[in-house]
């Protein structure tokens, strides 16, 4: 069961990776601004998975992504940050009775509204870290913030579309 799950997420990760490097990396929204979908992988991991496992898989997934996209180690840093804040985000949106065990935190379990908020937060963290390490300066905070907000809007829309289209019966 554990192995089956790992293989499934490995395939998800591969698909997202291909989507990112073959499609979204080639759609520029502006200087240094692209749509990023890999956050979706972290959002869809089961809640029971050990948070250190999540952190490490985010790190290596980011490294592979950077390996292909000439983005230094920006994706690595940003994805690791999302993995760190992931338990916190899910805690904020925890139902009053707590999460049922064995359920994926998908839009079909949490409801679309909650899922949109969760992905907005996660994507914003991702983009904020991404652009912060890209420009690497506190003085340029306004530019970082502006870029992050803009890319968050686009990335989240795509993430939700992808999620609703391809992870329907989960």
- Name the 3-class secondary structure at 15: helix
22 sits near other proteins (criterion: CB under 8 A):
yes
What's the min distance (Å) between Cβ of 169 and other proteins?
Answer: 30
62 sits near other proteins (criterion: CB under 8 A):
yes
CA distances from 9 to 15, 35, 91, 145 (A): 10, 21, 23, 31
Alpha-helical runs (H) found in the chain: 2-22, 39-44, 51-69, 74-92, 107-110, 112-135, 141-166
119 sits near other proteins (criterion: CB under 8 A):
no
140 sits near other proteins (criterion: CB under 8 A):
no
Among 81, 110, 144, 158, which residue interacts with other proteins (rule: CB under 8 A)?
Answer: 81
149 sits near other proteins (criterion: CB under 8 A):
no
72 sits near other proteins (criterion: CB under 8 A):
yes
33 sits near other proteins (criterion: CB under 8 A):
no
Nearest residue (CB) to other proteins, 83 versus 160: 83
What's the min distance (Å) between Cβ of 113 and other proteins?
Answer: 29
Name, in order, each residue with C-beta under 8 angstroms of 63's C-beta and a sequence gap of 6 or more. Answer: 73, 76
Q: Please tell me the distance from the alpha carbon of residue 75 to that of residue 64, in angstroms, as a whole number.
A: 9
Among 29, 44, 63, 153, which residue interacts with other proteins (rule: CB under 8 A)?
Answer: 63
Among 36, 57, 80, 123, which residue interacts with other proteins (rule: CB under 8 A)?
Answer: 80
Q: Please tell me the distance from the alpha carbon of residue 74 to that of residue 134, in angstroms, as a whole number.
A: 7
Q: Please tell me the distance from the alpha carbon of residue 116 to that of residue 118, in angstroms, as a whole number.
A: 5
Contact residues toward other proteins (CB under 8 A) are 22, 26, 51-52, 55-56, 59, 62-63, 66-70, 72-74, 76-77, 80-81, 83-84, 133, 136
């Amino acid at each position: 069961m554990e192995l089956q799950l790992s293989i499934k997420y490995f395939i998800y990760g591969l698909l997202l990776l291909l989507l990112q490097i073959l499609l979204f990396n080639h759609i520029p929204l502006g200087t240094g601004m692209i749509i990023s979908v890999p956050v979706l992988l972290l959002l869809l991991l089961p809640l029971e998975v050990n948070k250190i496992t999540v952190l490490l898989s985010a790190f290596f997934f980011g490294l592979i992504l950077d390996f292909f996209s000439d983005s230094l180690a920006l994706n690595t840093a940003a994805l690791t940050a999302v993995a760190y804040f992931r338990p916190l985000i899910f805690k904020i949106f925890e139902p009053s009775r707590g999460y049922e065990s064995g359920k994926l935190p998908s839009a079909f379990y949490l409801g679309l509204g909650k899922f949109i908020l969760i992905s907005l937060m996660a994507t914003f963290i991702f983009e904020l870290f991404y652009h912060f390490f890209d420009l690497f300066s506190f003085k340029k905070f306004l530019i970082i913030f502006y870029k992050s907000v803009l890319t968050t809007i686009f990335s989240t829309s795509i993430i939700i579309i992808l999620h609703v289209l391809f992870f329907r019966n989960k």
